[in-house]
Structure 1
Amino acid sequence: MDPTEREHPVKGRSFALLTAVAAFAAAAGIVPAASAAAVSCTAADAAIYTPPSSVTAAPGTLLACEPVTLKEVPGSIPMKAWKVQYASTDVAGNRIAVSGTIAVPTAAWTGTGTRPVVAFNPGTLGLGPQCAFSKQLAGAYQDEYEGDNIAAALKAGYAVAATDGVGYLDGQTHTYVVGANAAHALLDGARTAFQVPGAGLSAGTEVGIWGYSEGGAASLWAAQLASSYAPDLTIAGVASGGVPGDLKVTAAALNGSAFAGFLADAVIGLSTAYPKMPFDSLLNDTGRTAVTNVKKNCLYGTILGFAFADISGYTTDKLTLDEIYALKGTDGRTWGEVVDEQKLGVGIGTAPSGAKYPIGFPVLQYRGLLDEVIPAATEDSTRQAYCQAGVPTQWNTYLAEHLLADGAAVNDVITWFGRRFAGQAFTGNC
């Protein structure tokens, strides 16, 4: 067999075997025991965004759901959809709750095996609570959304599990660009899809993972953590576009640029996830006001409000990025070490390689050749790291800038997933 060819999962496993495996996995705490506490989809909308006082359920357990109409998914696609709240795990190992959306076409699945699920993470939406992807899809707020991506997946017959990501529940702050948080929320969203009453999805069905920009980093982190965090999922492939693989390279390009607002989101997201690191004590009055504003804004408000801003202007000591990286938190780590923990392509390898992050499925990466937001150097180096590690990788480029490259790639991504779900042999183009 070609070393880049992926073996298609065995179809038609016996019910007895699946039951035994599921029972063992649930007992081990690696998958949610859905039958133990079935959830009725009758939650009020406010309940989806109200964080529980505590979360003890296994990661991926459905905590609450409500039927919803996805007003911002174009094409009048017959479907059933739900807003959901589900259990996940943060970077510190704490059980948390996350919100998201599950959608399933009403047309019968006619492809190979059972209906696949595409787990989707949107690009940057902003830190304001109103920016949550589930709220934008439902039409409660519209700033920037990726309804076309969701529509394309549904038109292909795939179910969709779209996570909001960590930190969009009431009183929280989204932990933007924190790799483990993003990966866990994305993988647990896929697990949750199998538990929604009326969704009709089969446990063990194949899962594709997809995201662009912020979502591109999230989906690649999901690829890297899948084998250790969600071994119960049968992942057919991961598609990741516009990936900010190295945050230091990305931050250097964003600082003082027209898109400095993305850096503001990142600084606040990281400081939220890593409270032992110095942050509030570094800010001057302008910085404190900026933090308040960033936490209220969605995408365009953030871009317009912080265009050409330099991070040094928000600190009492006019600190540069390099000076901030050298600062230590109460746990002894430096900011530079925390930022480096988010770097993609480090410690990866093929499934039998013994690597820290074994990846046993194909990966598609893509970017716009005119990308003015994410430096080409980091997108190219992330792809090269995957190729050098022997992970079967396809690399696509599009004559488009950052925002338009996402739309330019949609049809190719859907076609690529179709081949993965059909079990076709894969050879990358490294």
Structure 2
Amino acid sequence: MRWNRPSVLLLCLVLALAGLLLGGCVSAPLPGATPAAPGRTPSSAIAYPAPGPPYAATAADPFYQQPSPTRLTRLAPGALIRYRPIAARAWRISHVQARAWQFVYRSTNTRGQPVADVATLLVPPEPRSRLLSYQVAYDALDARCAPSQEIVHGSLVEQWFVSKALRRGWPVLLPDYEGPNQAFLAGRQAGYAVLDGLRAARRFAADDLITPETPIALWGYSGGGYASLWAGELAANYAPELPIVGIAAGGPPADLEGLARHLDGGIFAGVYFEALLGLARAYPQIDLDRLLNDRGQRMQAKLAGSCLAQELAGVRDPLLSGYSFADMADYVRVDDLLAEPAVATVARANRLGGHGLPAPLFYYQARFDPLIPPNQARTLARRYCAADVAVDFDWVFGEHIVAALANAEPAIDYLVARFAGRPADNDCPNIAQRSTATP
């Protein structure tokens, strides 16, 4: 079947409508005013008023402004800088049944430099002593698609998944893990942002809500699964104090070079173009001025403010911008972009599976995924098994979106068991037998 632009647009609209119908926990706002903070906050953290319409863009909103490099350098990773209450909205028509705050905290970018990131904390009416960091697959080059913006505007496409956790009584953290420059697919930066967001949440919340012993889980799908796994791989050395008890990740892009070759010239080629632009923001050694020809420069200008499948945010989508079935070779000055030393080095540096995880993993993948090659899942699962991670692996009969929807409840159930301290299933012996792929 050959997909054209109208059919892709129709699919996006159908999926958005399905999400709207499934958005179970949205209705009227919670009674009472949102408090200034859910607990004690350091005196150095500045309180900001709640934002209201018309909402300022992040570039014009002082809440998002980066502190001076000198001040950032003096702060420890996870230190709180400022915070504000918000009224969390869903699907643009209703309110999330949770009290909500946003905070700015110190983190680290791909080059090891201090940076200020933003996260949103959602606290349900009767919270339990749990903390879920949910990594939204916002796959963005535009700040309007950051979770902290979408939860205010009500344009968060993955609200259904977040609501499932809130209904369990779990406080949920939504980090803007791409950082202030929307460095799409910069894995190490995403991992740092997730872990430092958790550190900041523990400092921000009341002791009876989140304590140093409160168990933590990570969950995300596709790009969100990528960020979750990067956080897991970095946790042992970067944030060993965080009590991460379980990780659920589905459909992550495990090998960026293999993914790029898979996407090039196909229906999802626009994702490859977007990924190149996102990685160049994190890695200046990818010199786009040198690599892109005139056509490529026009592509860069066109997609510089795009986001993948964030239709409620009202931004350009790389899948609907005329790049389906486009070949990267037509947009660059070199024979093979992926063979360029800088590009190849960055792709290798962002390959998952180089380290183990601090907790058991529920890993799910669509058997017929046209976006993420299933063989990447087999290889990554074997790598984690080789690192002594207990992996519960689940194939889903379907494609990329079906797998996200079908495994939402199993992912929640898996994390329920990890929060309860029950032992995790381990499919690693079967994974080794079923697959001939080598780590």
Q: TM-score range by the shorter chain?
A: 0.7 to 0.9
Match of 1:178 in 2: 186
The answer as to whether partners of 1:100 and 1:134 remain within 8 angstroms in 2 is yes
1:65 matches 2:74: no
Partners of 2:412 and 2:340 lie apart in 1 by 44
Match of 1:117 in 2: 131
1:81 matches 2:93: no
Match of 1:428, as an amino acid? N
State the identity %: 31
Q: How far is the alpha carbon of 1:159 from its aligned partner?
A: 0.8
Match of 1:398 in 2: 396
Partners of 2:293 and 2:94 lie apart in 1 by 48
Structure 1, unmatched stretches of 5+, are: 1-32, 110-114, 329-333, 350-358
Partners of 2:411 and 2:48 lie apart in 1 by 31
Q: How far is the alpha carbon of 1:41 from its aligned partner?
A: 4.8
For the aligned residue pairs, the C-alpha RMSD in angstroms reads: 2.2
Partners of 2:178 and 2:325 lie apart in 1 by 28
Match of 2:319 in 1: 303
Q: How far is the alpha carbon of 1:287 from its aligned partner?
A: 1.0
Deviations 1:243-271 (CA, angstroms, capped at 9, x unpaired):
11111111111111111121112111211
1:417 matches 2:415: yes
Q: How far is the alpha carbon of 1:38 from its aligned partner?
A: 4.0
The answer as to whether partners of 1:63 and 1:85 remain within 8 angstroms in 2 is yes
Structure 2, unmatched stretches of 5+, are: 1-39, 310-316, 429-439
1:187 matches 2:187: no
Partners of 1:145 and 1:261 lie apart in 2 by 20
SS of aligned partner of 1:195: helix
**C-alpha spacing 1:234/1:34, structure 2 compared with 1 (3 Å):** farther
Matches within 5 A, 1:123-142: 123-139=137-153, 142=155
Match of 1:339 in 2: 347
Deviations 1:33-86 (CA, angstroms, capped at 9, x unpaired):
964624435365723322223223211122222211221179965321112222
Q: How far is the alpha carbon of 1:108 from its aligned partner?
A: 4.4
1:327 matches 2:325: no
Match of 1:64, as an amino acid? R
Partners of 2:125 and 2:293 lie apart in 1 by 54
Partners of 2:47 and 2:206 lie apart in 1 by 10
Partners of 1:208 and 1:108 lie apart in 2 by 15
Match of 1:90 in 2: 109
Partners of 2:265 and 2:301 lie apart in 1 by 20
**C-alpha spacing 1:83/1:150, structure 2 compared with 1 (3 Å):** same
Partners of 1:379 and 1:108 lie apart in 2 by 34
Match of 1:152 in 2: 164
Deviations 1:311-335 (CA, angstroms, capped at 9, x unpaired):
1111134x3xxx323334xxxxx32
Q: How far is the alpha carbon of 1:362 from its aligned partner?
A: 0.7
Partners of 2:65 and 2:405 lie apart in 1 by 33
Partners of 1:289 and 1:198 lie apart in 2 by 50
Match of 1:370 in 2: 368
Matches within 5 A, 1:38-57: 38-42=45-49, 46-54=61-69, 55-56=72-73, 57=75
Instruction: Give the counterpart of 1:243 among 248, 252, 266.
Output: 252
SS of aligned partner of 1:275: coil
Q: How far is the alpha carbon of 1:197 from its aligned partner?
A: 5.5
Deviations 1:160-183 (CA, angstroms, capped at 9, x unpaired):
11112233x3xx3x1111111110
